[in-house]
């Protein structure tokens, strides 16, 4: 079933301006983070160049008073749009902490998930739990909804199929947000997604789906708002496939030149999402050039502040690796913690 988005109103001029500020801030920080890795400030980073509209647009649609987002390792734009402290977010990429130092409960962003497809399972479990906790008649009042992110490559993982099946059967209020960026690391989408599109799979799980231009930020906002409304009303999950393009490497350890040429990147990359929204603002009169220039300056200032914060991060106490495994530590874990203290702290 194709999701109907026609009832969702167009974004206001103020919303478009807010969206652009988030978009340019994401672009500036993302480009800088790649440079920081090359400079040795970050051990590793997963760039999102070209995918900013998909990430910012989807996060922009969330209601952080009740919804919850479940990211992978590439959703920096989602985190920034939700107001997460970027130094605390980047602590994982700095290898100072695993999953981010930010508070998931207050930010409504689950910890960064490095397991491919792992966040999808968590989102379905959380969404089903919200439905159970709300009880009968909860859909009329509007259920809290989860949104979970993954790529076209991750869509082939068994965990994703199991999660979508459970969500469909249980009518869990969850939005599966697929960023189809054309590549599963080095493998093009057409060589690993049977059936042509990820969205086509939704019908097999009894859920609605919508395919959206992932480089069109306002369109992504409207599609996500429609999906969230559908899920909150108790109609079950929705799969959104945002068609975009990964303009850079899969990660800073990847060399895309080994599997595609620069000419192919220029041909397939599509319209730049940041420039596209800037053009829309100017054409519609929602903003003028000074606004565009000021947003770029604000983005750069924010990036500089984040860099200072990242460089000031210190290693976390080693004991924490044992403190946050189980609510009630097992005897084996206690023994490991004791051995570690003897060897490293000479206790």
Catalytic sites, residue numbers: 246, 250, 259
Give 102-154 as a DSSP string. S-HHHHTBPPP--STTHHHHHHHHHHHHHHHHH-TTHHHH----EEEEEETTG
Residue 267, classified by CB atoms within 10 Å of its CB into exposed (0-12), middle (13-18) or buried (19+), is exposed
For the chain, state the CA radius of gyration.
21
Handedness of CA 232, 235, 237, 242 (dihedral sign): negative
| 238: enclosing H helix or E strand | strand 238-243
Task: At 16, list the tokens.
Answer: 């478009």
β-strand pairing of 187-188 with 183-184: antiparallel
Handedness of CA 321, 323, 327, 330 (dihedral sign): positive
Handedness of CA 9, 130, 111, 150 (dihedral sign): negative
Report the alpha-carbon angle 84-85-87, nearest 5.
135
Alpha carbon distances (Å) from 193 to 139, 190, 324: 34, 6, 37
Alpha carbon distances (Å) from 123 to 2, 156, 274, 314: 22, 17, 29, 31
Q: With beta carbons less than 8 A apart as the criterion, state whether 3 and 21 touch.
A: no
CA pair distance 97, 89, nearest whole angstrom: 9
Q: With beta carbons less than 8 A apart as the criterion, state whether 25 and 232 touch.
A: no
Tell me how far apart the 2 most distant CA atoms of the chain are, in Å. 67
CB atoms within 10 A of CB 345: 10
């Amino acid at each position: 079933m194709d999701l109907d988005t026609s009832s969702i109103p167009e974004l206001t001029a103020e919303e478009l301006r807010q969206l652009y500020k988030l978009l340019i801030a994401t672009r500036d920080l993302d480009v800088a983070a790649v440079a920081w890795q090359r400079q040795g400030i970050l051990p590793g980073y997963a760039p999102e160049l070209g995918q900013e509209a998909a990430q910012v647009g989807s996060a922009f649609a969330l209601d952080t008073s009740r919804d919850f987002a479940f990211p992978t390792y590439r959703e920096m734009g989602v985190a920034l749009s939700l107001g997460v402290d970027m130094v605390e977010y980047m602590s994982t990429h700095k290898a100072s902490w695993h999953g981010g130092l930010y508070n998931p409960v207050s930010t409504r962003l689950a910890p960064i998930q490095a397991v491919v497809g792992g966040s999808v399972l968590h989102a379905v479990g959380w969404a089903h739990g919200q439905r159970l906790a709300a009880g009968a008649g909860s859909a009329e009042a509007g259920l809290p909804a989860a949104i979970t992110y993954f790529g076209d490559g991750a869509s082939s993982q068994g965990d994703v199929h199991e999660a979508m099946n459970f969500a469909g059967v249980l009518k869990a209020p969850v939005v599966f947000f697929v960023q189809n960026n054309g590549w599963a690391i080095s493998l093009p989408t057409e060589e690993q997604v049977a059936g042509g599109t990820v969205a086509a799979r939704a019908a097999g799980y009894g859920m609605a789906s919508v395919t959206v231009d992932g480089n069109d930020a306002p369109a992504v906002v409207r599609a996500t708002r429609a999906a969230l409304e559908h899920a909150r009303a108790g109609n079950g999950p929705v799969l959104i496939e945002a068609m975009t393009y990964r303009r850079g490497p899969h990660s800073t350890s990847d060399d895309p030149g080994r599997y595609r040429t620069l000419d192919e990147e220029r041909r397939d990359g599509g319209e730049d999402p940041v420039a596209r929204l800037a053009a829309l603002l100017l054409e519609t009169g929602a903003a003028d050039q000074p606004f565009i220039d000021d947003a770029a300056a604000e983005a750069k200032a924010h990036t500089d502040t984040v860099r200072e914060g990242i460089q000031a991060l210190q290693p976390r106490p080693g004991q924490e690796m044992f403190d946050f495994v189980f609510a009630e530590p097992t005897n084996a874990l206690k023994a490991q913690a004791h051995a570690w203290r003897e060897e490293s702290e000479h206790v």
